[in-house]
Structure 1
Amino acid sequence: MIYLLNFSKQIKFFIFILVLLFAFPLMAEPIGSVSTRFKFLGANDKIVVEAFDDPDIAGATCYLSRAKTGGIKGTVGVAEDTADAAIACRQVGPIELPEDVRNGKQDGEEVFKKSTSLLFKTLQVVRFYDPKRNVLIYLTYSDRIIEGSPKNSISTIPIMPWR
């Protein structure tokens, strides 16, 4: 009996962790959407526009547009969205680069991640810093555990004095 009680707690803990994993990537602010294909059952296929602020750099905001699959599968959250996405990033306030960004990784640093299927597929945004030109570069792409997509988009923010 005690083992069953512990097993129940383990299941609840596992579900809690799954909810956290899927909730945190959803920190983008929805801006709007347009329908691209009518579906008789469930939501239409859409292009959604979302905004997120760089978590490490105040004054840097990125706007993502991405495909969102509708239909019954999309409505219940089991559809796999395509790898199509675009990004535009802008300086929206004064930018002061933290030291760890100035000395950042060559491979970039993940600043945004969103699940685009029930399992294994994500849309990511990675930030790079080009010290020679004093520019932030944001790259968006989609990946899977086994096979990613070469579809990608980049945007840059030249760091300028803010008035």
Structure 2
Amino acid sequence: MNRFRPFMAFALAMLPALAAPALGQTRVGEISTTFRLVGPNDKVVVERYDDPRVANVSCYVSRADTGGLSGWVGLAEDPSRFSIACRATGPVSLPAGLPQTESVFRQSASPLFKALTVTRILDAEKRVLVYLITSTKLVDGSPYNSVTAVPVETAAR
């Protein structure tokens, strides 16, 4: 039992961070997909995340949200099914010091150790920001992913 103590301490310390909503998240809408007799229905949720470091880039994520009794009390594990589309909502320019790869958003997808993560990748050669959404777990991830790209404005010549 003592050998599990460090793991349990880490797990308890991480719970608030995993349950916290991502910054800049706005729920745009939702559609019920499965009727549940007890608790809320299963649904597809659409949320908007504004890139915190690149002005005028908004990412729209659709994801499955498990309902029922376990979903209602917060114990359901949402499936790793999602899609992402990012768009320029105004002029897009690269801020100074933007890293080549950076985790932009993270949202819990289960009570323990599963999260959706959006990573921004800079394609400097083509002047494009690539956004990749994946599902991560403490032990293993998921092969499900989705990708989108937003062009960066080029200077007038």
Q: TM over 0.5: same fold?
A: yes
Residue of structure 1 in register with 2:81 after alignment: 84
The question of whether the paired residues in 2 share the 8 Å contact of 1:26 and 1:114 is answered with no
Structure 2 residue corresponding to 1:131, chosen from 121, 124, 127: 124
CA distance in 1, matches of 2:79, 2:18: 21
Distance 1:24 1:37, change over 3 A: closer
Offset from partner CA, 1:13-54 (integer Å, 9 cap, x none): x89x85465234264100001111110000100000000100
Maintained 8 Å contact 2:18/2:113: no
- Give 5+ residue unaligned stretches, structure 1: 1-13
- Shift, 1:160, TM fit: 3.0
Amino acid at match of 1:111: V
Partner of 1:65: 62
Counterpart residue type for residue 40 of structure 1: L
Question: Given the superposition, is the C-alpha separation of residues 26 and 42 from structure 1 closer, same or farther in structure 2, using an over 3 Å criterion?
Answer: farther
More helix by share: 1
CA RMSD for the aligned pairs?
2.0
Query: Which protein has the larger Cα radius of gyration, Structure 1 or Structure 2?
Result: 1
For residues 34 and 26 of structure 1, do their structure 2 counterparts lie closer, same or farther at Cα, with a shift above 3 Å needed? farther
- The aligned residue for residue 3 of structure 2 is none
Gaps of 5+ in 2: 1-11
The alpha-carbon distance between structure 1 residues 133 and 89, as it changes in their structure 2 partners (threshold 3 A), is: same
* Aligned partner letter, 1:151: Y
Choose the corresponding residue for 1:49, options 46, 49, 53. Answer: 46
CA drift at 1:158: 1.0
Report how many residues are paired: 144
Q: Is the 8 A contact 1:128 1:136 kept in 2?
A: yes
Q: Which runs of 4+ in 1 moved over 6 A?
A: none
* Offset, 1:85: 0.6
